[in-house]
Amino acid sequence: MTDHPLLGNNYERPRRQIEREFGVPVPGDIVPPDQWTITAVKKLPPPGPLNFSELFGRTAPVMLDIGCGNARSTLASAVWRHDIDHFATDLLPVVIRYATRRANQRGLKNVRFAVVGGRELLADYIAPHSIAEIHVYHPQPFYDAKLVHKRLITPEFIALVHRSLVPGGQFILQTDNPGYWKYMQQVVPLFFEFEEHPGKWPDSPKGRTRREIIALRQGLPVFRGTGRPRSDISADDVLKRAESLPPPTFDADRKLKDLDKLEHQTDSSDRPNKRQRR
């Protein structure tokens, strides 16, 4: 109980619902159901530039979170950056349903989710030089040699990122796979002014993503970097470079598959608890 200047003495402050992953709070309060929003894009239109102003009902800078998983990173950005619209995607319908529920329950109006691959999204739905930020956290390295062709971070994809970003836009990359990071170090700077971030993200020292939280708890390194499109290369140069560079054929190291098992475990503390306060 506490005193409230308008509601008088013995006012009981509403308890805040907290959702946690491995003990780390998920950003944003779960609001009453009458304040929930609808954040799912159930079906994308035919290929063509998405009209984000129509989708969000306003004109604002757009951030893409590609391979968003359960949306922890998307939620964190959307909760604290109301002036930016967030379009998050993943190939797995089940994780998009989970991500959508989370955003809906937080009453977020600056988020939309869709099931679509990252390469398809940029190639078919994003107008050139229209996106403020593109975030890619922990792209699947694919351990089986028969599946390496499915890796997202390729010269072709990086060229699409370069084409999609506004001048001065940001490309954010993160992985816990040393082989993937070494490949990124070699290829990304050919298209971007790339800066590595050896320390944790200041806004999320315990991890921006579920995967990062797990890796840090296991004492494993997490590799981070940000880039801005190089202005000294033309669109034709970007395409030529992409065509001349090798795809990622590194050894992903099967020992890191243990992280995949941990990532997909259900932690009992993940569920909202009405008795907890932030």
More confident residue, 277 or 199: 199
- The pLDDT tens digits of the residues spanning 200-255 come to 999 999 999 999 999 999 899 999 999 999 999 999 999 999 999 999 999 988 87
pLDDT at 89 over 90: yes
**pTM of the predicted model over 0.85:** yes
Could you tell me the domains of the chain?
34-266 (3.40.50.150)
Using alpha carbons, list the distances in angstroms from residue 3 to 13, 17, 275. 9, 22, 21
pLDDT at 57 over 50: yes
pLDDT mean over 244-271: 75
- The pLDDT confidence band at residue 276, using thresholds 50, 70 and 90, is very low
- The pLDDT tens digits of the residues spanning 103-126 come to 999 999 999 999 999 999 999 999
pLDDT at 267 over 60: no
pLDDT mean over 62-82: 96
| Contacts of residue 243, Cβ cutoff 8 Å, sequence gap at least 6 | 155
CA distance 166 to 174: 21
Q: What is the pLDDT of residue 278?
A: 30
Q: In one letter, which amino acid is 147? A: L
